Amino acid sequence: MNITNLQSDKPGTEDMATAPKATTPGPCDFPSTIVRATIVQASTVYNDTPKTIGILSLFLLEFFSQRSVKIVSNGLLEFAEKAGEFIAQAAADGAQLVVFPEAYIGGYPRGYRFGIGVGVHNEAGRDCFRKYHASAIVVPGPEVDKLAEMARKNKVYLVMGAMEKDGYTLYCTALFFSSEGRFLGKHRKVMPTSLERCIWGYGDGSTIPVYDTPLGKLGAAICWENRMPLLRTSFGLLHAGIELYCAPTADGSKEWQSSMMHIAIEGGCFVMSACQFCVRKDFPDHADYLFTDWYPEQHEEAIVSQGGSVIISPLGKILAGPNFESEGLITADLDLGDIARAKLYFDVVGHYSRPDIFNLRVNENQNKPVTFVSKSVKAEDDSEPQNK
């Protein structure tokens, strides 16, 4: 698999805010590097993408100010417009990598039916989808530009879960940004789960990148596609030697922690699983049926998504989280030397693989629904052939 290389061509030109920090070497030792990573565990503002993006700045501000797990009051929503002023003052100190949950921009449609039933449909469901489609973003587009600027101003690598619209088809997508404000690319979820398949398209092999950044090799898999063994290998996440494995998700279950632990040990990589923490009042008023049918508690503070964001080392050690209690920020210092330590005994696509027995074919081509093949045809007056 091709790996996008983002390393600087000129020595000494790395942004000091994003360059990994070396530990002090001992005798006959090479220094390992430390990367500071944080997960934002927060709720989408449903049906309001501009405010969702504005609040993103607040969490970056909170991280730069506190650099710890911190409960964020809903009252902070009132100050979204002011966040940029404070971020500029605090950007010199903080995270090098920031990871957001699945579908943070546009919203994860937890419990929504969109009027879908076998052989039936209704107008209310269609209008619900209209609003959901309107909350999705075009990639690239103006919202992507805003996110890139936030990454640049705060000198962080940013991985953002978003609902992407391509025409009238929606994709669950992870967006990647460099600390220089470059939009690096995207990964579209290849396998939606359950009713997600009725409203989301399927990603193909053309958007499964691993980026070779100054922080390490960076990639992402979204929610339950993390549980597809062939995907984890064919994704290039393991084959390309991924080091910073991001797992934006909507699964806040305690069982999910076991999957993340397994992936960290299997891949010999750092795993950062980011999930939203949502309560009833975070959802639109018209979603009452969701809470009547699926959640017994009807009050505004009833928990709908319990978070559980976590950071795990290649050796299977929990470095930060899981947080099942509140919105907040989860941060850890990642010692990249742990990757080599973990792979001493187990390198799943290296010395612990058997390519003479097991072989996997990966199609990285973009699959288009319509392909035009040019051919020469004669005009009706039998003049010179024209290209069609």
Q: What's the average pLDDT block by block, 10 residues per block, for the chain (388 residues)?
A: 44 46 52 85 78 64 47 35 32 75 90 80 85 92 90 91 94 96 96 89 90 94 93 67 93 93 94 91 68 65 86 97 88 94 89 85 84 69 56
Backbone angles phi, psi at 359, to 5 degrees: -140, 135
Closest to 99 (Cα-Cα) out of 55, 159, 186, 180: 159
Q: What is residue 356's predicted lDDT score, i.e. its pLDDT?
A: 86
Alpha-carbon gap, residue 170 to 369, rounded angstroms: 15
The dihedral of CA 284, 288, 289, 291: what is its sign? positive
Q: What is residue 76's predicted lDDT score, i.e. its pLDDT?
A: 34
Q: Any idea which residues carry the catalytic annotation?
A: 102
- Domains of the chain (ranges; CATH) run 33-346 (3.60.110.10)
The DSSP result for 117-174, as a single string, is BTTB--HHHHHHHHHHHHHSB-SSSHHHHHHHHHHHHHT-EEEEEEEEEETTEEEEEE
Q: What is residue 374's predicted lDDT score, i.e. its pLDDT?
A: 76
Alpha-carbon gap, residue 119 to 66, rounded angstroms: 52
Query: Token match 């107008």: residue?
Result: 123
Q: What is residue 308's predicted lDDT score, i.e. its pLDDT?
A: 93
Strands 97-99 and 33-41: parallel
Closest to 305 (Cα-Cα) out of 101, 39, 54: 101
Helix (H, G, I), strand (E, B) or coil at 267: helix
Query: At a CB cut-off of 8 Å and minimum separation 6, what does 338 contact?
Result: 32, 270, 313, 314, 315
Q: What is residue 114's predicted lDDT score, i.e. its pLDDT?
A: 81
Query: Token match 């891949």: residue?
Result: 267
Query: Token match 């579908």: residue?
Result: 103
Alpha-carbon gap, residue 200 to 36, rounded angstroms: 33
| Interior angle at CA 137, CA 212 and CA 63, nearest 5 | 55
Query: Token match 């942004």: residue?
Result: 15
> Which 8-state DSSP code applies to residue 191?
S
> Which 8-state DSSP code applies to residue 319?
E
Query: Token match 């960076």: residue?
Result: 218
Strands 157-166 and 169-177: antiparallel
> Which 8-state DSSP code applies to residue 102?
T
Q: Element (H or E) spanning 76, and its range?
A: none
Longest dimension (CA), the chain: 85
Query: At a CB cut-off of 8 Å and minimum separation 6, what does 53 contact?
Result: 105, 143, 146, 147
Q: What is residue 44's predicted lDDT score, i.e. its pLDDT?
A: 81
Helix (H, G, I), strand (E, B) or coil at 285: helix
